[in-house]
Structure 1
Amino acid sequence: MTSPSLLRRGHAADAFGDLSRATARWAQDTAPRLTTRLGRDDTTAQFLRFVLVGAVTTAVYALLFVTLRGGGYLPAHLVATGVSTVLANELHRRRTFRAEERVHWLTAQWEAGGVTVLGLLATSTALGLLEALTETAHLGLQIATVAVVTGFIGLMRFLALRWIFRPATTSG
C-alpha cells in the first residue's frame, strides 16, 4: 500500500521540474542578452557593472563583518570596509570603467579611496548612532543601515569614478 504523501510528492516533483526547466530556459535566453548589454561602454552599462561590483563587494563586506564582529562593531566595520573597498576599486578600474591601461592600481586606490573615506565616515556615524539609540542593534539592522547609507554614497561614488576613470581627451 502506498502512502498518500508519497503519491502527492510526484506532483510536487513535476512542478519543481517544470519550474527548473522554465528557469533554465529563461537563463539561456537572458544570459546572452545580459552579457551583451553589460559589455557595452555606455553609461547605463557602466552603471549596471558598478551595481554588480557593489553587490559582490557588499557580500564580501557582510561576510567579513559577521566574521569579525566579535571584536566589536567598529573594528569589524573598518576592516571589512578596507578589504571590500580595495576589491571594489580594483574591479571598478578593470571591469566597470575598463581603465586599467589609463589608471595605475595605486592611483585608483588613492583617488577612489578618497570618496570611500566619506562613505566610511557616513556609515561609521550611522552605526554609532544606531548603537547609541538601540544599545544592542541586531546584526541584520546593522547590515541594513550600512547598505542604505552605502547605496546613497555609491551614487556619489559612481559619479566621482566616472570622472576619475574617464578616458583622456586628445586636443588637436
Structure 2
Amino acid sequence: MTCPTLLRCRPAAADLLGDLSERVRRDDGIAQFTRFVLVGAATTAVYAALYVSLSGFGYLSAHLVSTVLTTMLANELHRRVSFRAEDRVDWFSAQWEAGGVALVGLVATSTALSWLDSAAGAAPLALQIALVASVTATIGVLRFVALRWLFRAQEPARA
C-alpha cells in the first residue's frame, strides 16, 4: 500500500526506524554484529579524517598514527557498544586482544597489496581499493568472531 502524501507515510517510517533501533539494542549475535559494523564504519570515517589532516607529515606517518588512534577508539567502542562488556573486560585487555587481531589485519592488507603489486605491477587504484576492502571485510568478520567467542568476557558471578 502506498501513501497518498508523505505526511501520512511518516508514522510508518518512524515505526520502521523504531523497530530497527529496538532490534539493534538487543544482545543477540545479529544485533552485536550490526553494532560492530556500525562502529567499524564510524571509526573508518574518523580514520579518513585523521589521515587527511595528518597527510602533511607523509603518508606513512599519517597512516600509522591514524591506524593506531582509530584502532584504539574502535576497540573501546566495541567493548562498550558492540559487546557491552565494559563491566567484564578492562580497557587494557580490550586493547591487547582486539589490537592483536587488528595487527593481523594490517599485516594481511599490506601483504595483499604487496602480492598485487608483484603480480600485476601498477594495478589500477580501483583494484587496489577493492582488494583492501575485501581483505579488511574478511579480517573484520574474523575479528568479530574472535571478540565474540574467542576472547569472550566471563559473565560476572551471580550470588
TM-score range, shorter chain: 0.7 to 0.9
Once the two structures are superposed, the pairs formed by residues 147-158 of structure 1 within 5 Å of their partners are 147-158=133-144
User: 1:35 is matched with which residue: 17, 21, 31?
Assistant: 21
Matched, 1:84 2:70: yes
Q: Is the 8 A contact 2:46 2:70 kept in 1?
A: yes
Q: Is the 8 A contact 2:89 2:153 kept in 1?
A: no
Identity of aligned residues (%): 55
Instruction: Tell me the alpha carbon deviations over residues 37-89 of structure 1, each in whole angstroms, 9 at most, x when there is no partner.
Output: 011001111111111111111112222233334513x3333222211111110
Alignment of 1:6-155 (within 5 A): 27-70=13-56, 71-72=58-59, 74-129=60-115, 133=120, 135=122, 138=125, 143-155=129-141
Q: Tell me the CA shift for residue 21 of structure 1.
A: 5.8
Q: Is the 8 A contact 1:60 1:84 kept in 2?
A: yes
Q: Which has the larger Rg?
A: 1
Partner in structure 1 of residue 152 of structure 2: 165
Instruction: Return closer, same or farther for 1:60/1:131 CA change in 2, 3 Å cut-off.
Output: farther
Structure 1's 121 and 85: CA in aligned 2 closer, same or farther, altered over 3 A?
A: same
Structure 2: runs of 5+ lacking an equivalent: none
Instruction: Using structure 2 for the length normalisation, give the TM-score.
Output: 0.77
TM-score by length of 1: 0.72
Contact 2:112 2:132 survives alignment (8 Å): yes
